Every structure is written in structure tokens, then in C-alpha cells.
Chain A
Amino acid sequence: MEALLFTQGLNVVFEALILAMLVLGLAVVMGLLNVLNIAHGEFIMIGAYAAYIVQRAGLPYWLAIPAAALVCGVIGLVVERCLIRPLHYEPFETLLATWGLGLLLRKCVELGFGRGYRSVEIPIGGSVSLFGESYPAYRLVLMVVAALVLASLFVWYRRAPTGARIRAMVGNPVLAEAVGIRTRELARNTFITGTALAGVAGVMVAPLTPVEPFMGLTFIVNSFFALVVGGMGTVAGLFAGATIIGGLQSVLSAAVSPTSAYLAMLLISILFLWQRPRGLFPRP
């Protein structure tokens, strides 16, 4: 019983960290720029395909990380220039536009790779014995990598003035230019960071899930739930949302069924949207 609890506890931490990684790109774009990138899941999907291609080519798996970041970053650059900037980063207009973009990206990938499922082999096989319980090594590695990425981003956000500059730019673009912020470049770079992070998250989850053109849909839904519950534009909100949604899903899926886990997530999100629409830790 204790062993089961221990494994289950690790699973909760794992789900929360992975979800935090998956949400990260969306949190950057939505929490900081007020742009809800509905195509976020498709950037994760493209990252997963990058992992698939790298693995098929017989290259070391870690190479997929820069590859996915590059591909998703470049697509993000084009999208920012041709879609987001012309729509002046308006929340509703960009929501509709990125919804269409998601369709387009799914169809493009379908054209290139077909509808079929692709599987990416787990790059680090085997399991590790922890206090007498064996746990998949790849999951442990993922947890460490996710924790490191999130922690370093957290430290950077708190220490570097960039976070405050982005907030300043979104709140008052005219004054931001006046104090010397190159607003066009800053907004573009923030958007690209979000899409590149989505690509990296895609590489991380690719071995754990079937890789197919529609895989992004589940990710965008979970990511959005996590943001709604946690609150936008804060690191605490990101962690809280990912822990609640990811943890809940993990526990309920194991204890009851995946369907009821999904239902519970929906109910919690509706409750939050209704009673506390800014989430647990919103930006002040």
C-alpha cells in the first residue's frame, strides 16, 4: 500500500511538472501578451513530429529539442509578422486567427505525414529502483529536466527586468516606446519564446503519447484549464494550475477513470470561470 502511494505520489508530481511544461508557452503568450494562442497545441504537436523525425533519422534524441525550438520559433516568427501584429495583439481577433491557424497547421502536418499514429520510442529505457519501487527512468529524467527549465525560467523572470518590461509594454505601449523599450521586437520575441517552448514541450511528451495531427487538441484544453485555475501572468499561478489540474487528472484517472477525471477538470474550470475568473494567483 505504501509503495503504491509512493508511486502514485511520484505520478502526481510528474503530471504536474509535465503539464507546467506544456502550459508554459501558452502562459507566456497569454499571461504576458494577452493573446490566447489557440494553436498552442499544434506547436506542441509540431515539436512532437520534430522528435519523431530526429529519431527516425537515427540522430541523438536530445537534438530534437533545439530542432523543435527552431522550427516552432520560425513558424512563430512568421505567424507574429503575418497574423498577430497586423491584428494589433487584440485578444479576440488573435483568438479567432490562431484558431484558424491551428486548423491550417493540423492539415499541413496531415498532408505531410498522414492521419496515422506515429510512435516515438522512449529514448531512455529501463527503470530506476527508488526505495524498493521501480519507476520508469525516462519519467524521472523528464521530471528533472522540467523542474530545471521551470526553475531557471522562474529565476530569470524574477531577476531580469524583461518581465517588468513586457508588463509595461502591454499596459502602456506608448510610454514603453518613450522610455526606450523597442516594443515591436519585445512583443515579437515574447511570442516566439512561447511557440518555441511549446515545441520543446512537444519533444518531451512525444514518447509518452501517440503522435498524430490532432494530438494538440487535448493539450490546449488541459493547458487552458490550468491557466484558468492558476491565474495568468504569474509563476505561482502556473505552478498552482498545473498542480491542481495535472494532479487531479493523475489521481482520478488511477482511482476512478480517465473520463471522470476529465469531467472533474471541466467542473473545476467552470467553477473558477464563474466564481474566480482571474484564477488563484492572478497578476496584480
Chain B
Amino acid sequence: MKPTVLNTPNSNLLELEHVSFSYPDGGIGLDDCTLIIRHGSRNALIGANGSGKTTLFQHCNGLLQPQSGLVRYDGEAIDYGRKGLRQLRSKVGMVFQNPDRQLFSASVQEDVSFGPFNLGLAESAVRQRVAAALLAVGMEAFANKAVHNLSYGEKKRVCIAGVLAMEPELLVLDEPMAGLDQRMQEELLIVLDELHERGITLLLATHDIDFAYRWADRLHLISAGRCTATLEAADLADCGDALSAVGLPLPKVVELHNRLMAKGALSNERTPRTPRTHGELLALL
């Protein structure tokens, strides 16, 4: 399915440079925000409700245009003309938080076909992409079902399929785990892992630091519209200050690991790196 771009893990796919945006009612959306998303990386954008996550995402897809600053995709500044936006939106896929605000066709297959048709593909190609996208999210049996008969989690998957069918390079997901139960969250994670394997760059918003630490390569912190820091997940154990500056605690696994090290229950030789999950920590003991 992907990717067309050479997978060079260190090159920058999307860059926001000093982007500011405020809403017509005076609310601050983004305030001098600088952020870099690398090719093929998994990124978590962490911030409280109302911190500007959705505003930032809408800049990734050209839905909002910065009032000052610059957004670059693949090294080039975004052209906000019709053609430029078309190109950008075929590369950056956006999954909204509330599925009922994204799905507007009555049947699953129809909705997924919406994006590919907008790309101007022929019907046979669209049919192929729809089938592949539904397969990727495990919803192939639901192709002819009506959208309103699906559960919340299923609707969410259809939303993802609808964007996947456009074969994006960068997939942006706004609070994908919100409203999903434990099992559905695990299933969605598997889907995301598979997409990452295929070379799709992922950016998702969350306010759950434990989940972000477990899943992401890089964590971007946002608070009151300011992008305060970008942290490598591998170094997070030493970044308590940056986290507490935006009111976030250290991940529980890190806290517990630190305490166990202090008590001497674990030693440096046995743990070359800080464990990322509860399971990894248990395995060390």
C-alpha cells in the first residue's frame, strides 16, 4: 500500500515553525508553536482539554491556516491554494474525535469510498482501496452495514478506514482512545501498530501520559496553546521537570521503577533501559 517516500527516519515530514493562531472570539488556539514530526515515527501530542491539540491538528491538514508562522510538509511550505491543499490532504489523513461528526454516508462501504473518489480515482481502484482499508481495520465483514447500527468502537474503525483508503503518509488521530473500552483500545493499538509497520507516520492526541509513554517514540507537550517541549520516550525518565511544568506526572511505570532502583530491588546492570510497560517492569523483578 505504502510508502512512496523513502523511509529516512531522521528527515522531517511535518514542521510547524512559530505558528500562532487565535479564534475570532479571542480564544487562543496556538501561541508560537514549533513542532517537528519525523518520517516513520510515532508521535503523541499530550495536553489537557482545551490546550490546543485539535487546533494544532487542524493545521496539519490545512483546515486552519496559521496567522503567523509557517507549516512545512516534506520540507516545503504549504501552499494554501486549491491545488496545494488537495495535495496536502491526500498525504495527511485526519481522524476526528467524534465519529458521528466524520461519518456522513449511511453505509460503511459508501463512507470509506468517499475519500478515494475525492482523489479522482476510478471505480475499480476505489473498490480495491475500500476493501483493503476495511481489511486493515478488521471491518471487512461490515462493508454493507448501515453506519447507525454500529457500536462506537466500530464507527471509530470505519473513520480510520475512511482515511486509510486515501493512503496517507501521515495519519493524525484526535483522541483515538476516548470512549473505547479496554478491549477496543487494545484492538485499536494493534491496528495502529500494523499501520506503523507499513511506514505510515502517526500522530495522535491524548491526555494519558502512561499510554503515550508506552506507545510513542516522541512525546510533544502542549499547554495553553504553547508547544512546551518534545521529549524522546526513551529519555522520559529524566524529564520530570518538563512534564511537571505542564502539570503532568511521570508515567507510573517510571515512578515505580525509580523507587525500586532506590530501594535496591533492581540494579542498573539488570535494567539497561527504563521499562515502558507494566509487563516489562514485572519481567525485570
To the question of whether A and B form a pair in one complex, the answer is no
A contact set with B: CB distance below 8 Å: none
